[in-house]
Amino acid sequence: MQEPRLGVAVVTMGNRPDEVEALLRSVAKQDLAPDRIVIVGNGCRLPEFAGRLDLPGEVTTVDVEDNLGCPGGRNVALAALRAFGDVDVVVELDDDGLLVDVEVFRQVRDLFAADPRLGIIGFRIADEHGVTQRRHVPRVGNADPLRGGYVTGFLGGGHALRMDMLAETGDWPAEFFFAHEETDLAWRAADAGWKILYAPELLLQHPRTSPARHAVYFRVTARNRVWLTRRRLPLPLIPVHLGVWILITLLRTRSTGGLRAWFAGFAEGFREPAGERRPMRWRTVWRLTRLGRPPVV
From 209, 233, 253, give the residue that closes a domain: 209
Statement to judge: residues 198 and 278 lie in one domain: no
Q: Which domain holds residue 11?
A: 6-209
Q: Provide the number of structural domains found in the chain.
A: 2
pLDDT one-digit tens code per residue, 25-52: 999 999 999 999 999 999 999 987 655 6
b/e 77-108 (16+ beta carbons within 10 angstroms → b) = bbebbbeeeebbbbbbbbbbbbbebeebbebb
pLDDT one-digit tens code per residue, 207-235: 987 665 555 899 999 999 999 999 999 99
Statement to judge: residues 44 and 187 lie in one domain: yes
Statement to judge: residues 167 and 90 lie in one domain: yes
Which residues in the chain show pLDDT less than 50? none
Statement to judge: residues 179 and 278 lie in one domain: no
For β-strands 118-126 and 36-42, DSSP reports them as: unpaired
Statement to judge: residues 118 and 17 lie in one domain: yes
The whole-number pLDDT of residue 216 equals 85
The whole-number pLDDT of residue 215 equals 55
**Phi, psi torsion values for 206, nearest 5 degrees:** -145, 135
Among 119, 242, 240, residue whose Cα is nearest residue 188: 119
From 161, 190, 209, give the residue that closes a domain: 209
The whole-number pLDDT of residue 168 equals 98
